[in-house]
Amino acid sequence: MKKEVRIPLIVIAAFTLVRIGPSFSSNPVDFHSGILSADDASFESELAALDREWILVYFHAPWCAPCRRMTPSVNDLAANTNGALPVISVNLDEAPRTAATYGVNATPTILLLRHGFLFDRYAGPLPTPVLENWIESRIGKDTIHP
């Protein structure tokens, strides 16, 4: 007599997510040409090379759905400020030490640095106007739109 084996639905769902999960990480994230990319090896040198009062750092991951919603806002910001506010993109998979240094534990996270030191942070996706308002409320409109 054969015994029927029942697999709980949650196990099937978890297996499906694990199986399709890696396909998300293969989707490239396209950034505006004015955005610098950095990893653990290059972050400090990129920061030093910019030598600017204000710098925005965008922590993201290619497998992160909210990051994919946030990337267009970061691109718009880079395009709208014409380099007045430098943006550094940091992929969490390539820069775990940098993320740990700044206490990044959610994606996406944006950091606003002043003279290389953490001034403020925001975790979660923001549409372009809200992102610009968030930054302007901290550093002033004239700073990013000279």
Active site residues: 64, 67
- DSSP-assigned beta bridge partners for residue 56: 87, 112
Distance CA 68, CA 27 (A): 10
User: CA end-to-end span of the chain, whole Å?
Assistant: 81
Distance CA 42, CA 132 (A): 27
**Within a 13 Å sphere around the CA of 69, how many CA atoms are in the beta-carbon half?**
12
Of 85, 118, 86, residue with least CA distance to 102: 118
Helix, strand, or coil (residue 87): strand
Distance CA 32, CA 132 (A): 16
